[in-house]
Structure 1
Amino acid sequence: MFALSDLPEIIPVFPLPGALLLPRSQLPLHIFEPRYLAMLDDTMKTSHRLIGMVQPREGGETGAVHLQTVGCAGRLTAFSETEDGRYMITLAGISRFRIRAEVDGFTPYIRAQVDWSDFAQDPGGAGRDPDFDRERFLALLSRFFEARALATDWDSIREADDELLINSLSMLLPLGVEDKQALLEAPTLSDRRETLETLIAYALKAGDAGPEVMQ
């Protein structure tokens, strides 16, 4: 487990639209772009093995891409290399961070100076949601799955603890990039669950249905 004082001031960041990582969650990724293969090679040489996942956002200039200010760092816990040189990796979420500045340098990927202090609770134990009405939440989720023609393992959903359930759904449900960012920035687990409920209810009201499958 990382202490706040163990977290580095500068980390590589990986901007990927819609890919949400949260503390104590697992994010599998398929890496094939040369610049991010270089990022992985460099990360594996560090003691912390941290990569910051962050949502890109479109800037005012044509084709310009900027970064959201809040992301989440994950520790590289598993990787395998394919015969053609690509990586299959898993990041374990450690803590959210706030980007203070991008760091100039010669790397083909982005590095950022980050501040962890706003999220001092993240490296600790699991978050709690004392007001979570699981039955009401599952009823809402069932309506959403039916409207979207989603299939999933209901037994696993019913048995998951509160944080695993809320964070996994936040990461996996087909929601927009801005919605994912709102879920990431929710201060507490209760706030994230309330945000998720609001997003699901809004999607149901909008009636935007389409066949998808969630594993």
Structure 2
Amino acid sequence: MGANVKPTRLSIFPLTGAVLYPGLQLPLHFFEPRYRALVSDSLARDRRIAMIQPQAAVEGAPLFRIGCVGKIADVEALEDGRYNVVLEGIARFRLIRELDVTTPFRQVEAELLTDDMEEALSAVERASFEREARHFADAQGYAVDWESVARLDDMSLINGVSQIAPFDGAAKQALLEADTLAERCELLVQLMQFFGKRDSDDGGRVTLQ
């Protein structure tokens, strides 16, 4: 994996618990005026919106270091000014610094990361993941079409589960920051084991936060 030499300027949508991966899609609903302005600006320029998690659920919170740039693949402009948008992941990025801007939405300087989209798991890694995923799905009461899962390539499977898994923001961030598919797969297995546990004292699900 490498990085582009020249930094790029990105307009960001900071959203806790939401991550995007290259090659995958993320549906979003924009209703706040500042983020409606973000979509309008993006449509007028390059259709890019960068997804990144804030480190806390407060206004202006510091950002995590890794996010993913998405390109607007589909958009529905509603009569009241809101937008329904589908973002398609282009590339992960590493935050360099946040910029001082006059726009209502935040902007950053970042370097785009080049992931190996042809990376594959070993047969043992794939089998271990699918075994743990079945245990997790059964424990959580999820209905899964395992025949369809078996047909997915490794990248689509691991990144897809990482994006939609019902984990907290810290866990999702750790998955996004994994540098290789094998590392992300190993962490995903660990997280399914971790989140699958129940605290017998309060009956709640354990979290990483």
- TM-score, structure 2 length as denominator? 0.86
Is the contact between residue 28 and residue 90 of structure 1 (CA under 8 Å) also seen in structure 2?
A: yes
Of 49, 59, 81, the residue aligned with 2:77 is 81
Q: Distance in 2 between matches of 1:32 and 1:9?
A: 27
1:179 matched residue in structure 2: 171
2:27 matched residue in structure 1: 28
Question: How much does 1:74 deviate?
Answer: 0.8
- TM-score, structure 1 length as denominator? 0.84
Q: Distance in 2 between matches of 1:126 and 1:41?
A: 34
Question: How much does 1:8 deviate?
Answer: 6.5
Q: Distance in 2 between matches of 1:137 and 1:46?
A: 41
CA RMSD, 1 decimal: 2.4
Matched, 1:91 2:87: yes
Map 1:161-172 to 2 at 5 A.
Answer: 161-172=153-164
1:213 matched residue in structure 2: none
Is the contact between residue 147 and residue 209 of structure 1 (CA under 8 Å) also seen in structure 2?
A: no
Moved more, 199-208 or 105-114: 199-208
Of 137, 141, 158, the residue aligned with 2:133 is 141
Match of 1:147, SS? helix
Question: How much does 1:198 deviate?
Answer: 0.8
Question: How much does 1:130 deviate?
Answer: 3.1
Against the structure 1 CA distance between its residues 133 and 125, is the aligned structure 2 distance closer, same or farther, given a 3 Å change threshold? closer
Match of 1:65, SS? coil
Against the structure 1 CA distance between its residues 96 and 32, is the aligned structure 2 distance closer, same or farther, given a 3 Å change threshold? same
Unaligned runs of 5+ in 2: none
2:105 matched residue in structure 1: 109
Matched, 1:70 2:66: yes
Deviations 1:85-143 (A, max 9, x none): 22111111111111111111210000001122xx22x3x64332235533332221111
Q: Distance in 2 between matches of 1:74 and 1:188?
A: 20
Against the structure 1 CA distance between its residues 183 and 128, is the aligned structure 2 distance closer, same or farther, given a 3 Å change threshold? same
Question: How much does 1:202 deviate?
Answer: 1.4
Q: Distance in 2 between matches of 1:93 and 1:111?
A: 18
Q: Distance in 1 between matches of 2:204 and 2:152?
A: 26
Q: Distance in 1 between matches of 2:39 and 2:178?
A: 29
